[in-house]
A and B are shown apart, each in its own frame.
Chain A
Amino acid sequence: MGATRAYAWKLPGVSVTLEVSAATDRGLVRRTNEDSHLATPPVFLVADGMGGHSFGDRASQATARVFATRLAREEFPTIAEVLDAVREADRVVQTIGEDEVAGSTLAGLALVVDGSSSEPRWMVFNVGDSRIYRWDDGLEQLTVDHSAVQELLDEGVIGPADVRDHPERNVVTRAIGVGDAEPDVWILPTGGRERFLICSDGLTKELDDATIREVLNASGDDSPADRLVSAALAAGGLDNVTVIVIEAVVTRHDAEDSDDIGSPVPARLEDTMPRG
């Protein structure tokens, strides 16, 4: 279902290529899929809806739709535009469900530009417990969940081993549509080859980091996103599961010969050594 798609941009002084795969499944137990996602460069997001009746899927769809309408275009958005979209999604979802609360998580990744600089950067933003990982040799979780369990972890009340079966593990403390959709934001430099994974908690509740890494590093005819969703279903598929995998190569070259895509800059230059 989620074939890998390739995209390329050529901007003054920099070229960007992306390979993207996305997959979602309602799981083996739930009757509806309340997850939505958007995998249209330069914006990627996973939204996991919550609320009774059909409010959950409406909430996550509305969230994805706001971003699709505002930001699915060729031009990289600014950070402010992405934040505006988060606020707009919060406003729109608040109108769903009236007295009954509808809400959605939001884990997003966007290529953004900032003010006068044309330099593309990664913007990572999250509300709730959907996650973004950077996947290199290891798997590094970039986002920090807004969840009751995360707060208990931070306070040292419980340990990592207690998370999986904790009764509050499905309780989020921030959500789109509840009126406190202040996202946490990371702005990261682009450069070289970088790989990201965006997922709903239906993936991370079924598969631990080691398994996710193993599935990502395996090869096969299926796209990486399809492989992860299949693995989550095989592990139980108790919740909706949605995955987007993004492989990016950002290459800088002199603005003068912008037609020439130079060789990639050394990936992740190490920090400078102190001057002698």
Chain B
Amino acid sequence: MLPDHRYLASSDGWIFLCREDLVLGIDPLAEGLVGLLWPLVRDGAPTASVLDELTRGGISSAPGFLLLEAAAGIWRVLARGAGRVEFPGLDIDAVDGSTASAWSESLAPSGAVLRCVTPGAPGATTPWAVRVGIVRASEFVLGDENVPTAGSDDLDAGPTAPVIEAPKSSRSRVIPRPPGSPSPGEDPGLGITISSLETTAIEPLESALDEAAPGSGTEHADYDHLFGETVTRSVEGAAVRGAEDHDGGSPLEDRTKVATDLAERRALRRAAKAAGASEAPPAGPRFTLDLSTGGREPLEGVVIVGRAPSANRVAGGEVPRLLTMSTPNQDISRTHVQIALAGGTVVVTDLHSSNGTFVVLPGQPPQRLRAGESKTVVVGTVIDLGDGATLTLREES
């Protein structure tokens, strides 16, 4: 359950309309909107509907507001006008309405403390609690936190507040286009369709299937088509399916067989994983690549180097590291060369580059790799992509 909200009462503060998972603060100049907005806030309308009401007359005439909603484990925060929302204890920039022409928007984890700060005279110094209602306040605080006091900028985050890192240099700015009219029940920002809300009047799928094809297993391919339902099955399962169909089992039974097959695979996978987990990774020398463009990159697994490298259809466990090298004439290939460390050995492979790859082993003349050719190299080797781009293999001491 979300904790109570707290606020510092102030007779000239912003007007805050709140329920447990949504808080809307509006500039008192727009006091006349309270009557329209309160039913939406009270009755569980999503951010999108509240936003529609706020921007009914167009964005430029919308009042200043702060809009915060908790959904799917995160807070979504919007700020327009003179108010801002701070995240004490978290490395997230405040969302400041005054910096955006439309509104500023950000996300915060569900455990965060969110402090809404509005212009105007400081209000009371003792916070009061509120869960659902309308108050005027100079500060309004959501989330687990000790006592908020006006002007204390070094509040500890509550113990549940996770630390998330946001790059100080970056700032996402959401500039919605003239808003469409998202349908109620849909959070257009998060885009998670909570289809379980539709569970009224849902009959079990199986009973519908039985009606469609009573007692016959052979027809079930036909209503697969009808329902277009995705099922999961191993290839082996798919191969033996014809035989199952003649067992005379109902479609429901057929589905259960599929499930058993997959449950077995689950168990096998788990066992295999547990067995594999006990193998210690082989310890070996640690290599790095010194780049002619400056910098040093660790060599672990596979590195792909190029002007704008890409990796195509690799297994999730074997994603290579991509290294972009910019050269004066943009004269190396987009995806030029692969350098792979496997079992303590380093192998260089030309990836069908336009101009080829030269490998210079210590004390030897340069050798040109043919398109697609691989070569094992040793520490001290220089890998030359042309246009001044080289990588030198070093062993970490």
State the A residues within 8 Å of B (CB): 1-12, 22, 24, 26-27, 29-41, 48, 50, 52-54, 57-58, 61, 64-65, 68-69, 72-75, 79, 83, 86, 94, 99-101, 103, 105, 114-117, 119, 121, 125, 128-129, 144, 148, 151, 165, 167-168, 170-173, 175, 178-180, 182-189, 191, 201-202, 205, 223, 238-239, 242, 244, 269, 271-275
Contacts and interface: CB of A to CB of B under 8 A. Distances in A.
Contacts of B368: none
B32 interface: no
A94 B266 contact: yes
A117 B229 contact: no
B86 to A, nearest CB: 16
Contact of B232 (A31, A79, A116, A171): A171
B396 interface: no
Given A12-B169, A40-B189, A53-B204, 11 more contacts: A22-B188, A36-B192, A58-B196, A64-B72, A83-B316, A117-B323, A117-B324, A173-B234, A185-B313, A186-B312, A272-B332
Interface stretch (B4-12, B114-122, B149-157, B174-182): B174-182
B355 A275 contact: yes
A189 B324 CA distance: 9
Given A187-B311, A272-B332, A101 B262 contact: yes
Given A33-B193, A75-B170, A171-B232, A148 B198 contact: no
B334 A189 contact: yes
Contacts of B73: 65, 68-69
A114 B305 CA distance: 13
B322 A121 contact: yes
Contacts of A50: 229-232
Nearest to B318: A185
Nearest to A187: B311
B349 interface: no
B240 interface: no
Interface in B269-316: 269-270, 295, 297, 307-316
Contacts of B199: 32, 54
Nearest to B329: A272
Interface stretch (B23-31, B59-67, B219-227): B219-227
Contacts of B243: none
Interface stretch (B33-41, B140-148, B160-168, B357-365): B160-168
Contacts of B181: 3
Contacts of B342: none
9 contacts: A1-B183, A3-B177, A8-B175, A29-B226, A54-B199, A54-B202, A72-B190, A94-B266, A187-B322
A238 B225 contact: yes
Contact of A100 (B170, B259, B315): B259
A125 B315 CA distance: 9
B193 A37 contact: yes
A244 B316 CA distance: 23
Interface in B247-283: 255-256, 258-259, 262-263, 265-266, 269-270
Nearest to A117: B324
Contact of A101 (B179, B221, B232): B232
A167 B310 contact: no
Contact of B315 (A121, A128, A184, A244): A184
Interface of B: 72-74, 92, 106-107, 109, 164-167, 169-177, 179-183, 186, 188-196, 198-199, 202-206, 208, 221, 224-235, 238, 241, 255-256, 258-259, 262-263, 265-266, 269-270, 295, 297, 307-317, 319-324, 330-334, 354-355, 386
B310 A186 contact: yes
Nearest to A80: B319
A272 B331 contact: yes
A52 B206 contact: yes
A9 B74 contact: no
A271 B353 CA distance: 9
B208 A26 contact: no
Nearest to A176: B232
A178 B266 contact: yes
Contacts of B191: 22, 37-40, 244
A254 B355 CA distance: 28
Give the residue among B180, B224, B297 with the most A Cβ atoms within 10 A: B180
A244 B190 CA distance: 12
Contacts of B189: 5, 40
Contacts of B166: 73-75
Contacts of B332: 272
Nearest to A67: B192
Given A105-B230, A144-B313, A8 B173 contact: yes
Give the residue among B107, B195, B319, B333 with the most A Cβ atoms within 10 A: B195
A245 B132 CA distance: 38
Contacts of A121: 322
A214 B166 CA distance: 40
B275 to A, nearest CB: 14
Given A3-B188, A39-B191, A170 B224 contact: yes
Contacts of A186: 310-314
Q: 3 tightest A-B contacts by CB? A: A3-B180, A239-B228, A39-B191
A202 B180 contact: no
Contacts of B331: 272, 275
A244 B202 CA distance: 27
A187 B319 contact: yes
B238 A83 contact: no
Contacts of B334: 189, 269, 271
Contacts of A171: 231-233, 238
A269 B333 CA distance: 10
Given A35-B193, A103-B232, A183-B316, A6 B176 contact: yes
B190 A5 contact: no
A65 B225 contact: no
Contact of A5 (B174, B186, B241, B258): B174
